[in-house]
Amino acid sequence: MSIQSVASRSRQVDPALALPIQYRTLSYQISESKAQDFDKYINVKDAATKEFSELEWHTISTDEALRRLTTSATEGLSEEQIGRRIKEYGRNAPSPPKSRVIQTWFGYFFYGFGPVLLVGGILPPAVANLALAIVLFAVFLLQAAFNGFQDWSSSRVMSSIKNMLPEDCLAIRNNAQVSIPASELVPGDIIYIKAGNKIPADVRFIRVSSDAKVDRSILTGESVPLSAAKDSTDENYLETKCIGMQGTHCVSGSCTGLVVATGDRTVFNRIANLTQEPKSKLSTLEREVLNFVIVICSIMFVAIPIVLLAWGLWLRKDHPDYISVPTLIVSIVSVAIAFIPEGLPIALTAGLTITANLMRRNMVLCKSLKTVETLGAVSVICSDKTGTLTENRMTVTDFTIGTHSITADKAKAQNELDDSANPNPNPANDGIVLTVVGQLRAIASLCNAAEFDAATADKPIEKRRIFGDATDQAILRFSERLGSVRAMRDSWKKTYELAFNSKNKYMIRTFTLASIDCLRDTLPEREASSFGSGDILLTIKGAPDVLMNRCSHLANDDDDDKARFDNLKNSYSSRGKRCILLARKVIRQSDLPFDPSTSQFEDAVLNHAQTDLTLIPDVVRTLRGAGIRIFMVTGDFALTALAIARDAGIVFSPSSLVDDVSALDREKLSKSSPSTSTIVISGPELPSLGEGQWKALTLYDEIVFARTTPEQKLRIVREFQQDNIVAMTAADIGIALGSGSDMAIEASDMVLLDSFSSIVEAVQYGRVVFDNMKKVICYLLPAGSFSEFWPVITSVLFGLPQILSSFLMIIICCLTDCAAATVMSYEKPETDILLRRPRNPKKDGLVNWQLLLHAYGSVGILQTVASFFASFWYLQRNGIPFIPDEVEKDYYVEKLNIASSIYFVDLVVMQWFNLFAVRTRRLSIFQHPPAFNKATRNLYIYPAILFALFMAILWLYIPQLHPILGTLPISTSHGRRQHSNHQMSTSIVAALPKWPC
């Protein structure tokens, strides 16, 4: 049995989405390793992380790099050096992926029960055995087809990657410039790169022009080009600007580069290979299925030696003519076939597919079947706030300028009064509105990446569509209420932009004056009158804790009281409001003489931005009831995050009972739960936590992680994964919202198409699918394993007639029982499904001793005894004793075939009632009826029963099949006598108690 990925069969994966996921993960891991003692990190299992962490090409000087590669920046490599290095390093091209066709196809056929089915098909050439062999081979091929179907995917990143690499490049070799195929580059080559070129290999820049910029979006997913640099700017090889990576674009300027890596050693090809590597870690479902296969095969391999010992020590000596060696081999294979529920792989896979389709109807998209069940075992959900716990829609409600705090509605009203020539002006308020509020409106319009959709320009401001993130949308709407954003932007010409990112936590835009129309609305009169045509207006927007220390004074010239400002920020945050700081600075032309397209301009702007700025719940409750801890992981301030967590129902404790990092004892390793249940911890505090503190942190029931970076989010997930099943991107199961970014969706295992509330359905179906798999196994084992095993073993050991033919065994497993087992996937959740604690995968297995006791020791024994009784009673009534001695052969065969049909029908009919008995794990048929109640009904059960009846008629009552299959119909008179037996046995089956399995 195999449960593999079925993700993305109908689409081609865009490398621009697949590569950045691996790139960012690798970059975070490298940064993490740099922050630790390298001796501790040397045993890291991720070879790529270890290798990139050890690289020094970006930290050494250019002269040292040239020396190490024995090359010259002016002369390049010699022909002799090139020949040696081509032999050593090979071509500068990605190696073709390892061909695992034989291994893959071998796994399709021989994984799980495949080998037993194949061996069972190789039987002596009797007519009945031939029919059995055909059926076994059909099941063998069908199982392989299911495994192949699950593993097939049209996502082929490598096929697209080759088209992203350049074909030719300009290099220096033998003191001459030559154009060579990019595939012939070797480490040590000196190459020229100009605007528009793709970088053909990993290079260390040794010369760069002032305006050189590189677009790394194919690797990072970030569209803003980075300036190239000659010297190192970061210890992380993947983040420094002095390294040009293969596949990236030079968008402006020119560079000279020293090739330091080619072929599979480049960052581009290493990450491309990582996207193709299969995950070695088994999912919880794969582990459960593997454990079940081991249990069944273990029991089977115990029974086979018993047969061999009985034959070798007893039957061969005392009854030499009873079982020959060929017959012994057939008997052993029959024992194996009898004990294996051959229909189980088909039923489980079909059930998972059905569940995945049901989840899609509930707006939950599963990209892999194996993740369906994993979500049912989730005990921790790490959730972002924006767009998940909240609606990802913000509105500006209050703002503060100097010592004046004003609501957005009041500012709008005051602005409208001013426009209508307010006859009773208030000098204080009007002064603020006419000057500083106008300046705030200007910065809000200019330092903003959001844009109005022109198609909705005629609609009210609240209903206009805006392209941009939620924060920018709110600020843009606020600015538009106070005046025209378009008019403001038309008055200024943008010269530079640094986009907001989670590491800097701010964005920068610079402008030169395009029109004087809005100059006095943007700057106070003193600065406006002196603003020259070549001067620069620097605007910045971001996190107050990052920008506040860069500000030198307030916009309305109030005293610079930063303590009062911090108190105000905390007050806003404690009410769940996000705080954004807007600031500006006028830079004179003489202080910034560089061209805006150069890297010197960018460096100067960033330097000026350092100083002298002018400051301008139901979903969660349900999941908690299901025993799942939900933690908020956000970039907001601690007080803001705590307020939102309270509103969402994540935190219930009052502020006085909320712990902080000081509650985590560095020295003491705690294994007991903390005295309080809630803790708020900020990102900057995480790197200093020791192992004992992390262990204590994971014991809290309510946790809010504030001011976290993407790297820290990855660390949080890893710490909780040690003892929990974690749901979050990059965790045991990655979950993304359908409204999220393409890369987030590509990296996830499950997508919530509607909203975060869909996760309740996802968790519910995750638990349902585990329940249903237990029901399927509990349903199939009594008839498909136990009741088929005893006819074979009693025939081999005691000389009784094999009362059930091997062919009818396969019909039960693959047809009559398999159909009914499959429709159990349509069972509605039991009422207590979201009131249980999450199952512990280490303790609550798919198959445990309670299930085996119920299937074998209870239902299995009942069905076996009842079927033996009916079949041997029929033989006894027709003159064939329990152990036949002198009976005419043809007569004996005829009656034995009828008895086999009786045994078969007995099992089929009793399984109908067993189906009703096991369709619920904890509730009775009266509490969870299969019909008449829409919340619990499963009408597919009845067609499955009719299908089983049709199969019995097909194989037993068509005369043309009798001589081929060795089957015969049951007489009507015996059927009437059997009816009372069925009533008794099936009533007992239906009335069996619910075992806690």
Confidence at residue 942, expressed as pLDDT on a 0 to 100 scale: 92
Confidence at residue 85, expressed as pLDDT on a 0 to 100 scale: 92
Average pLDDT over residues 374-383: 75
Among the ranges given (317-321, 333-337, 426-430), the one the predictor scored with the smallest mean pLDDT: 426-430
- pLDDT of 246 > 80? The answer is yes
CA 810 to chain centre: 38
* Alpha carbons 445 and 426: distance in angstroms, whole number: 26
Residue of 960 and 31 predicted with greater confidence: 960
Average pLDDT over residues 522-546: 84
Among the ranges given (240-254, 377-391, 490-504, 754-768), the one the predictor scored with the smallest mean pLDDT: 377-391
* pTM of the complete model: 0.63
* Alpha carbons 951 and 909: distance in angstroms, whole number: 12
C-beta separation of 897 from 968 below 8 A: yes
- Alpha carbon of 816 to those of 117, 343, 786, 905: distances in Å? 18, 10, 16, 10
Confidence at residue 557, expressed as pLDDT on a 0 to 100 scale: 55
Lookup: tokens for 42: 């040397």
Confidence at residue 443, expressed as pLDDT on a 0 to 100 scale: 87
**Other residues' Cβ atoms within 10 Å of the Cβ of residue 685:** 18
* Alpha carbons 165 and 194: distance in angstroms, whole number: 16
pLDDT in tens, 450-470: 888 877 888 888 888 887 777
Strand partners, 203: 244, 259
pLDDT bracket for residue 5 (50, 70, 90)? very low
pLDDT in tens, 746-769: 556 777 776 667 777 778 888 888
- pLDDT of 82 > 80? The answer is yes
Lookup: tokens for 307: 């047969």
Strand 702-706: give its sheet, edge to edge. 658-659, 678-682, 702-706, 629-633, 380-383, 726-727
**Degrees (nearest 5) of the Cα angle 638, 627, 847?**
140
Confidence at residue 12, expressed as pLDDT on a 0 to 100 scale: 45
pLDDT bracket for residue 114 (50, 70, 90)? low
Find the DSSP H helices in 484-628: 485-490, 519-522, 525-530, 544-547, 562-574, 599-608, 618-625
Q: Averaging pLDDT over each range in 140-149, 188-197, 722-731, which range is the top one?
A: 188-197
pLDDT bracket for residue 156 (50, 70, 90)? very low
* Alpha carbons 50 and 266: distance in angstroms, whole number: 15
Q: Averaging pLDDT over each range in 242-251, 338-347, 457-466, which range is the top one?
A: 242-251
C-beta separation of 452 from 473 below 8 A: no
- pLDDT of 419 > 60? The answer is no
Q: Averaging pLDDT over each range in 80-89, 94-103, 376-385, which range is the top one?
A: 80-89
E strand intervals along 182-315? 190-194, 202-208, 213-215, 226-227, 243-244, 249-252, 254-261
Catalytic residues: 384
Segment (H or E) for 960:
none
Lookup: tokens for 501: 């990112």
> Phi and psi (nearest 5°) for 207?
-145, 135
Segment (H or E) for 497:
strand 492-498
Average pLDDT over residues 257-284: 75
Q: In one letter, which amino acid is 276?
A: Q
C-beta separation of 369 from 5 below 8 A: yes
* Alpha carbons 506 and 189: distance in angstroms, whole number: 39
Q: Averaging pLDDT over each range in 119-128, 615-624, 923-932, which range is the top one?
A: 923-932
C-beta separation of 759 from 380 below 8 A: no
Confidence at residue 723, expressed as pLDDT on a 0 to 100 scale: 62
468: left (phi over 0), alpha (psi -120 to 50) or beta: left
Kind of pairing between the strands at 190-194 and 226-227: unpaired
Confidence at residue 678, expressed as pLDDT on a 0 to 100 scale: 86
* Alpha carbons 215 and 252: distance in angstroms, whole number: 9
- pLDDT of 256 > 90? The answer is yes
* Alpha carbons 206 and 251: distance in angstroms, whole number: 18
pLDDT in tens, 611-653: 666 655 456 666 667 677 778 887 777 777 787 777 767 787 7
Confidence at residue 132, expressed as pLDDT on a 0 to 100 scale: 61
* Alpha carbons 572 and 399: distance in angstroms, whole number: 10
C-beta separation of 123 from 331 below 8 A: no
C-beta separation of 250 from 194 below 8 A: yes
pLDDT bracket for residue 186 (50, 70, 90)? very high
* Alpha carbons 693 and 899: distance in angstroms, whole number: 69
* Alpha carbons 419 and 878: distance in angstroms, whole number: 109
Q: In one letter, which amino acid is 950?
A: F
The mean predicted confidence, pLDDT, of the chain is 75
Q: Averaging pLDDT over each range in 184-193, 314-323, 436-445, 651-660, which range is the top one?
A: 184-193
**Other residues' Cβ atoms within 10 Å of the Cβ of residue 605:** 24
Segment (H or E) for 24:
helix 15-34
DSSP state of 199: P
CA dihedral 178, 181, 183, 188 (to 10 degrees): 10
Confidence at residue 943, expressed as pLDDT on a 0 to 100 scale: 92
Contacts of 932 by beta carbon, 8 Å cutoff, 6+ apart: none
pLDDT bracket for residue 71 (50, 70, 90)? very high
- pLDDT of 425 > 50? The answer is no
Confidence at residue 684, expressed as pLDDT on a 0 to 100 scale: 80
Percent of the chain with pLDDT over 90: 7
In the three-class reduction of DSSP (H, G, I as helix; E, B as strand; rest coil), residue 233 is classed as coil
Residue of 303 and 108 predicted with greater confidence: 303
